[in-house]
Structure formats: structure tokens, C-alpha cells
């Protein structure tokens, strides 16, 4: 084997020397140390994230993939006693925008399509553009709520990026303005604002459900995490009869127009059960048209407006006198020449009655006659009778806005104050309270709580007056609608009708104004009372403003139709016009 030459030995020696100079130990250890530190930091960070604080990472991941979807519950249907729908929910859609996406994709450059969107939604064209530009960082903005299917279809066909539709429901009222005051109306969010819709909102609404899902980057559902089932709203059946409701509404609306009255109201109650059969007011409003929701139209005057009842309380004065033993069927009251002085004041009759029985006092509506009856008994007895039949207390219908009226309480009463109380001044009641009082009288003195929702609670009815005396007053009340009576226009051919008219001047600051309230209240048929009805005409204009002229004909029209609709057998009304 050949040995390396001298020159080759020199080259090998230099190579070994260079390799030794390239490998520097401390540098190697330094690099290894850096690697170990970096690795330790990464391991520590992973341990911190995974073990010490894992929730934050899970939370961040959920924000990007987990979505919660509300499952709205359908609002319950409101019906009348016969199952006729008064309020139903219909499917509609809401149009919403994603301004951030619209701006990012520069969708606003195609102005014509955006103008078309504004036109179909009934929005200002430039206002729509400004709204999107103003909220350019937001991801959700409502453009229009409760859009009908035809409009929603048009919006879809526009195919605008960043515009979406969301399913929701809208309340529809088939009866329109006829039952508006009683049924009420819901807001844009589906919750009740007035009437039954508000009072029973929780019952009708139910509980919405919730679905939690996980989506991937492409928006596909990859996991169903949880599902809370929704509880649908419960249906509600009212005691009113839509046929009677429509009949009464047409009558009061026509009366308000004929007499140019500020308003007109009517309420009908089932004497035997206390169920409200009809409750109407004019003017009314259309709950399907939100532009028609004006406060003066939306007042349910049957429960909100207090009025002095005038002569309509006189039957209860007679009933109180019989109950307290200060009068009987043979009692004769001398009303003199039609003027009675009490202190420095006078009580007048429209026409002199002379010596009158209890029946004639009611028939002729004698102020002096009921005044003398009231003065014969303690004032507490009269007030107790008023209160026991439902005057001066809320009805218990659970409707928003109801007032209790004004029921006087004094330590001392002058004789004239007692007199005014006897012919319906000095106290204020609502039409529903007056109807309740007449229903109690028609039920032969048995007080039955009134209601608009059927329930199975305990029986709270109780006797507040002797049946014999209540029957006696009902017979007297029938003569008021017969020849010579003050409510002859309230009569219904073929039926025995008991009714009392009333006319009261409206109170104002310091006294009474020149405006009047005309009333007629009564029950029918007298042989076996089925319904109680009260009609109120507020501020009739013109020469006719008495209850017997204005309210009595409306009472007759409503009562006639109601008795026929309810199939009440005629009870041989011998009175012929």
C-alpha cells in the first residue's frame, strides 16, 4: 500500500484542525438551552390552557361554532262562547339586514334594487340607504316587521346580499272594531297592550323553546347540543256572544251618529250566571290597522268612564225601602204639587204625581217619591243596598283600566244630600256596575259575580235582597215600559220588559255643565229574567237628550235582537202600541 506523501499529510492535518475549530461546545449548549426553554414555554402554555384554564378556549371555540335558536311559541286563539275566533295568529316574516356584509360586498352600488326594496316595504328610499350606511359595523338590523307573504316573496326575488327574512307571527282580529275594546290588541313584539290580550298575556303567550346547535365553517349543522321544547300558548274562550256583540255595536254606533254624541256604550249580562254577553263602545278602532290606534278610540268606556246614574238607581231605593220595612206594597207617598223644599233647596218632579204608590213612583220616575222613601230609613241602609248589588266596586273582570267609580262616604249627611243620592246624583258608577246591579235585581236579589272567562272556582253567589221584594220591584219596573211610563220606547213587542231611563247632567268644576248623559237600564223577560242590559249615550246633541228619547230606543233594538238570538220564548206582553 502506498504511503501518503508529505503534502497529503499536511492537508489531512489542516482538515482535522478546521473541524475542531468549527464545533464550539458552549454555542451548542446555548442553542440546546434555547430550544429547551422554548419547548418548556410551549408545554407550559399548553398545560395552562388545557389544565389550568380550559374554559376560555372552549368559550372561544363555542363563540365561533355554537348557535342558539329561539323557537317562538304560537299565541293562543281567543274565541267567543260559540267558538267563533276573535283573535288568531297568522304567519308573517320580518325583513332584516346585515349592514357589515352589504358594505363589504359593495352591494349598495346597485341602487335600483335597493329602491325597489324600499318601495315594497313602504320605506323612504334614501332613508333605507342611510340606515344601512349608519349601521355599517352591525350584523343585524330590522328593516320591516310583520311583512305579508306576497311582500316576502318579492324581497326574496330581489336576491340582495345581506338581506334576510325571519319567520314570526302577526295577530289578526276577524271581528275588527266590533270587539276591539274587549279583546284588545297586541304590540309589534306580540305581547298584549289592551283588553283581554293584555290581562291574559301570559296565558296566551306560552313559553318559547330553545335549540342549541354547532355549525362548521360552511354553516352546516354538525351537532345538536340541546333542545328545550316550546310550550304553545293556551286558547281562551270568552263568555261573550259575537252575534250579540255585533248587534249591540251596530246599534250604539248608529245612535252616536244620529245624536252626534261624544260616545255610546252598551253592556249585556246573563242574569242567571253573571257572564258578560256583550260589551261595546262607539267610537271604536280597527285593531288590524295600527294607524287607527288612537287613545280616545281605544277607551273601553264600559269599565273606565264613571257617570252619575240618575233615575236608573230608583228601583234600588224602592227595594231598600221594602227591605227595611219603611214601605210595603200598600204604601202611598204624597208628592204634593211636584216641588219639595228641603232646607234652602228644592226637589222637583218633571210633572206632578200627587199621591202615588211605589209602582207609580217608579212608573212616573218621581224624584220626590224616592226622596221621601230615602229619608224614612237610615242613610246606611240605602248605601248598603247600593253597594250590595255591585255599585261602587270593581267588577272583577280583570281588565286593565277599570275604575271603581265614586261611592260617597261622609260622617254627616244633610237631608238634601240624601235626596240627591236617591235620584242618582252624588255618586258615580260605571256602565258595567249598573248592569251588574240590574242583573242582581233580575236574579231575584241573588248577587252573582260577573265574568268574561269561564272558571270552576267556588260559588260566590249570595242573596242580598229578599226574593219577594225583588219580584215586587221587577213587576213595578215592567209598568215603566207600558203606557204612562217614562220608558215606553224601551218596550219590545211580544215580551215583558222592565226598564228604567235616566238623564244626568255632567259634572264640571263648581257645578254642572249643559251636557247630558242619557241612560236606559233594564232586564227581560220579566216573567223569568234572562239578560240585563245598560245603554249609555254620552253628550247627545240637539233638542233630544233625555234617556227615554235617546237611549230607550237603542235599548229596545238591542234587547229585541238579543231575545231572538238567544231563543227566549215570548212571555205574553199584553201591551200594544
Residues with a catalytic annotation lie at 311
> In 109-261, which residue ranges form alpha helices assigned H by DSSP?
111-121, 125-134, 149-158, 180-183, 195-199, 201-205, 242-258
CA distances, 110 to each of 106, 153, 165, 187, 349 (Å): 9, 20, 20, 35, 81
Sorted by sequence, the CB contacts under 8 Å of residue 404 that are 6+ apart come out as: 392, 393, 394
Reading across the β-sheet that carries 498-508, which strands appear in turn? 276-282, 263-270, 531-538, 511-524, 498-508
CB 552 within 8 Å of CB 534: no
CB 296 within 8 Å of CB 190: no
Q: Would you tell me the crossing angle of helices 125-134 and 111-121 to the nearest 10 degrees? A: 110
The owner of cell 501518503 is 4
3-state secondary structure of 1: coil
418-439 burial, b for 16+ CB within 10 Å, e for fewer? Answer: bbbbbbbbbbbbbbbbbbbbbb
Range 186-191 contact pairs with CB under 8 angstroms and sequence separation of 24 or more = 186/75, 188/145, 188/146, 190/75
The rounded distance, in Å, linking the Cα atoms of 82 and 236 is 12
Give, in degrees to the nearest 5, the angle at Cα 576 between 573 and 577: 135
Q: Which three cell numbers stand for residue 145?
A: 316587521
Q: What share of the chain is helix, strand, coil (3-state, %, to 5)?
A: 40, 25, 35
CB 301 within 8 Å of CB 263: yes
Which phi and psi (to 5°) does residue 333 adopt? -110, 130
> In 48-146, which residue ranges form alpha helices assigned H by DSSP?
54-65, 99-104, 111-121, 125-134
CB 448 within 8 Å of CB 440: yes
Q: Which three cell numbers stand for residue 216?
A: 362548521
The end-to-end CA distance of the chain, in Å, is 158
- Length of the chain equals 577
The rounded distance, in Å, linking the Cα atoms of 436 and 533 is 9
Q: In the 8-state DSSP scheme, what is residue 313?
A: G
The rounded distance, in Å, linking the Cα atoms of 555 and 557 is 6
Q: How would you classify the pairing of strands 236-237 and 78-79?
A: parallel
Closest by CA to 490, choosing from 419, 428, 573, is 573
Q: Distance from CA of residue 425 to its chain's centroid?
A: 31
The rounded distance, in Å, linking the Cα atoms of 280 and 246 is 9
Amino acid at each position: 500500500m502506498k504511503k501518503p506523501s508529505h503534502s497529503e499529510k499536511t492537508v489531512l492535518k489542516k482538515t482535522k484542525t478546521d473541524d475542531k475549530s468549527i464545533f464550539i461546545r458552549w454555542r451548542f449548549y446555548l442553542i440546546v438551552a434555547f430550544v429547551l426553554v422554548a419547548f418548556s414555554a410551549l408545554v407550559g402554555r399548553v398545560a395552562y390552557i388545557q389544565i389550568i384554564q380550559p374554559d376560555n378556549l372552549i368559550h372561544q371555540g363555542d363563540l365561533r361554532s355554537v348557535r342558539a335558536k329561539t323557537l317562538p311559541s304560537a299565541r293562543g286563539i281567543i274565541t267567543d262562547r260559540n267558538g267563533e275566533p276573535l283573535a288568531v295568529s297568522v304567519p308573517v316574516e320580518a325583513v332584516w339586514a346585515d349592514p357589515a356584509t352589504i358594505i363589504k360586498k359593495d352591494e349598495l352600488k346597485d341602487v335600483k334594487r335597493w329602491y325597489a326594496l324600499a318601495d315594497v316595504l313602504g320605506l323612504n328610499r334614501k332613508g333605507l340607504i342611510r340606515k344601512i350606511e349608519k349601521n355599517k359595523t352591525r350584523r343585524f338590523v330590522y328593516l320591516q316587521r310583520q311583512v305579508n307573504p306576497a311582500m316576502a316573496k318579492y324581497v326574496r326575488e330581489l336576491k340582495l346580499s345581506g338581506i334576510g327574512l325571519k319567520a314570526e307571527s302577526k295577530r289578526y282580529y276577524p271581528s275588527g272594531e266590533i270587539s276591539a275594546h274587549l279583546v284588545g290588541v297586541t304590540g309589534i313584539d306580540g305581547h298584549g297592550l289592551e283588553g283581554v290580550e293584555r290581562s291574559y298575556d301570559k296565558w296566551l303567550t306560552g313559553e318559547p323553546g330553545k335549540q342549541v346547535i354547532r355549525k362548521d365553517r360552511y354553516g352546516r349543522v354538525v351537532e345538536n347540543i340541546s333542545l328545550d321544547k316550546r310550550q304553545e300558548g293556551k286558547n281562551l274562550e270568552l263568555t261573550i256572544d259575537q252575534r250579540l256583540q255585533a248587534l249591540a255595536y251596530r246599534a250604539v254606533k248608529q245612535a252616536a251618529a244620529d245624536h252626534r254624541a261624544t260616545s255610546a256604550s252598551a253592556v249585556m249580562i246573563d242574569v242567571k250566571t253573571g257572564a258578560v254577553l256583550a260589551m261595546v263602545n262607539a267610537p271604536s278602532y280597527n285593531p288590524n290597522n295600527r294607524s287607527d290606534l288612537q287613545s280616545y278610540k281605544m277607551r273601553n268606556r264600559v269599565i273606565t268612564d264613571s257617570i252619575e246614574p240618575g233615575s236608573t238607581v230608583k228601583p234600588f231605593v224602592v227595594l231598600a225601602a221594602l227591605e227595611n220595612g219603611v214601605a210595603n206594597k200598600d204604601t202611598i207617598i204624597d208628592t204634593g204639587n211636584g216641588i219639595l223644599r228641603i232646607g234652602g233647596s228644592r226637589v222637583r218632579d218633571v210633572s206632578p204625581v200627587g199621591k202615588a204608590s211605589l209602582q207609580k213612583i217608579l212608573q212616573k220616575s218621581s224624584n220626590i217619591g224616592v226622596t221621601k222613601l230615602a229619608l224614612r230609613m237610615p242613610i246606611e241602609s240605602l248605601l248598603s243596598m247600593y253597594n250590595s248589588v255591585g255599585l261602587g266596586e270593581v267588577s272583577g273582570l280583570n281588565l286593565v283600566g277599570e275604575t271603581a267609580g265614586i261611592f260617597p262616604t261622609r260622617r254627616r249627611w244633610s237631608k238634601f244630600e240624601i235626596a240627591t243620592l236617591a235620584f242618582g246624583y252624588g255618586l258615580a258608577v260605571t256602565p258595567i256596575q249598573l248592569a251588574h246591579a240590574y242583573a242582581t235585581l233580575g236574579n231575584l236579589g241573588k248577587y252573582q259575580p260577573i265574568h268574561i272567562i269561564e272558571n270552576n272556582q267556588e260559588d260566590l253567589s249570595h242573596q242580598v235582597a229578599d226574593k219577594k221584594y225583588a219580584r215586587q220591584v221587577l213587576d213595578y219596573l215592567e209598568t215603566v215600559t207600558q203606557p204612562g211610563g217614562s220608558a215606553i220606547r224601551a218596550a219590545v213587542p211580544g215580551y215583558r220588559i222592565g226598564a228604567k231611563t235616566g238623564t244626568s247632567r255632567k259634572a264640571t268644576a263648581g257645578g254642572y255643565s249643559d251636557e247630558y248623559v242619557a241612560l236606559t237600564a233594564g232586564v227581560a223577560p220579566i216573567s223569568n229574567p234572562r239578560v240585563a242590559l245598560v245603554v249609555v249615550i254620552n253628550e247627545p246633541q240637539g233638542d233630544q237628550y233625555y234617556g227615554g228619547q235617546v237611549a230607550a230606543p237603542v235599548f229596545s233594538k238591542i234587547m229585541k235582537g238579543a231575545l231572538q238570538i238567544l231563543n227566549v220564548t215570548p212571555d205574553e206582553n199584553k201591551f200594544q202600541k
